[in-house]
Structure 1
Amino acid sequence: MLILLPPSEGKTPALRGPAVDWTALGFPELNPYRAKVLEALGTVSAHQDALALLGVGASLRDDVERNTRLHAEPAAPAHSIYSGVLYDALGYRSLTPVQRRKADESVLVISALWGALRFGDSVPAYRLSMGTSLPDVGRLAPFWKEQLGDTLSAAAQGHLLVDCRSSTYAAAWAPPAQQTVTVNVFTESGGVRKVVSHFAKHTRGELARHLLVRRGKAPGAPSDLLKAAREKWEAELVPGTARKPHALNIILPG
């Protein structure tokens, strides 16, 4: 089983420690492309109109300024850099050592800057969205889609993929449909079902945690994932096709 997560927009910078060690990152074949994005990000972030170019507000000025010195910034494991609703619900710090090892092996984060990261890969905090366009790189989702295919398809062999990404980050890699289950979250009241956003992030984080802490074998097929989800939620599985992934729909009370 591999759990695909988006990064969080908000990140918690490491206060001390060494800078990123590129040779220690997972998927080292991506390093030339990571370096290209990082260089373009540093150039844009030093521009007088950097906030507008990156599509962020004035409150994030310090984050954007940090982008200009990422080679030297302290790095920390991805699970501690990424913060926010989904990652709070996953709660890496409260996992047992065995569960943490399982998370480090099972969780992949699709990143606008790094392409793809293992949960234990150490990186600095940065500010960059997959929807951004950078000079000499272009829009990041198409850029990474061209680079990630072979790498992640090889990593995915033999695994059920539990896709908890948002649509922006899902655009960067289309995993093999037959072995992938996308996770949707709805509320239902009076027979009326509605898509939720904020609670979807929280519930996806809870699902990731549940899959990491539950006893027994990790789900190896979509039907196994449905059984695991039903241990905590009302859920249904929508079968996929040769080109469309399966869908796990988690239904919350309205």
Structure 2
Amino acid sequence: MLVLLPPSETKRAGGDGPPLSLDALSHRELDPVRKELLDELVELSADVEASRTALGLSPRQDDEIARNAAVWSSGTMPALHRYTGVLYDALDVSSLTGAAAARARARLAVGSALFGLLRAEDPVPAYRLSAGSTLPGRPTLAARWRPVLEPVLAALGTDELVVDLRSGSYAGLGRLPGAVTVTVLAQRPDGKRTVVSHHNKSHKGRLARLLAGTRAEPADAAGVAAIARRAGMTVERPAPTELEIVLPL
């Protein structure tokens, strides 16, 4: 089983690993696009105003531009420790130990606007690039990633079950038909349901933690739902590869 996570806008600073080397990353077939984007980010960082526009930053976030300028030379850390925020707080991968930690390292991956696809231990620097960003004079990131990323994802999907927890914009960088997808819904007292936005990430992070550490090897969405239900989550399966986590409002 592979659990595909979204990245986060916020990233942990620093890193005591060596500077970025594409040779150290998984899925080397993605390296040509990775290198193009990395070099373009460095070049863009020389123009602060253009960087703010392309990356959707305010003047108070100019440190993000400095991170991009140093993306080839700054220290690295494993991808799962680089990303922060609500989902990664709920995942809390650092608290997993022993066999559960080993399973998490094997099962967790991150969809990235800059790197395409990262495995848990791939060493990466801090950077800023979102799925919705468009670098000046260049095609959209989806147009650049899909031709190379979708074959990689498709190959993974033939070998193991993929649970795709990415948000819409990141799923758009590389689609994977047949993956198990998860929606978080709130149910009102009258029975009506609405999509959860604010707490969506925390519940997906909790599910990711369950799937990362479990001894079970689910073969389909029903198996994933069973793991979640044993942990007390209310999960429904409206379609063969779709799951809904239902929360009382």
TM more than 0.5: yes
1:169-201 deviation per Cα after TM superposition (whole angstroms, max 9, x unaligned): 010111132xx1111001112112111112110
Which letter does structure 1 place at the counterpart of 2:221? P
Structure 1: gaps spanning 5 or more residues: 241-245
Q: Which residue of 2 aligns with 1:152?
A: 153
Which letter does structure 1 place at the counterpart of 2:206? E
TM-superposed deviation, 1:137: 3.9
Q: Contact (CA 8 Å) 2:100, 2:212: kept in 1 or not?
A: yes
Q: Which residue of 2 aligns with 1:59?
A: 60
Q: Contact (CA 8 Å) 1:40, 1:136: kept in 2 or not?
A: no
Structure 2: gaps spanning 5 or more residues: none
Q: Contact (CA 8 Å) 1:67, 1:127: kept in 2 or not?
A: yes
Q: 1:176 to 1:192 in 2, by over 3 A?
A: closer
- Kindly indicate whether residue 197 of structure 2 is the aligned counterpart of residue 202 of structure 1: no
Alpha-carbon RMSD? 1.4
Which letter does structure 1 place at the counterpart of 2:115? W
TM-superposed deviation, 1:203: 0.2
3-state SS in 1 of match to 2:225:
helix
Q: Contact (CA 8 Å) 2:15, 2:77: kept in 1 or not?
A: no
TM-superposed deviation, 1:136: 5.6
Q: Contact (CA 8 Å) 2:180, 2:220: kept in 1 or not?
A: no
- Kindly indicate whether residue 126 of structure 2 is the aligned counterpart of residue 131 of structure 1: no
Q: Give me the whole-angstrom Cα distance separating, in 1, the residues matched to 2:60 and 2:87.
A: 22
Q: Which residue of 2 aligns with 1:225?
A: 224
Which letter does structure 2 place at the counterpart of 1:185? V
Matches of residues 45-84 of structure 1 in structure 2 within 5 Å? 45-49=45-49, 50-84=51-85
Q: Give me the whole-angstrom Cα distance separating, in 2, the residues matched to 1:224 and 1:67.
A: 41
Which letter does structure 1 place at the counterpart of 2:220? A
- Structure 1 stretch 1-10 or stretch 58-67: which is displaced more? 58-67
Identity %, equivalent residues = 39
Which letter does structure 1 place at the counterpart of 2:119? R
Q: Which residue of 2 aligns with 1:243?
A: none
Q: Which residue of 2 aligns with 1:185?
A: 184
How many pairs does the alignment contain? 246
Q: Which residue of 2 aligns with 1:33?
A: 33
Q: Give me the whole-angstrom Cα distance separating, in 1, the residues matched to 2:18 and 2:229.
A: 43
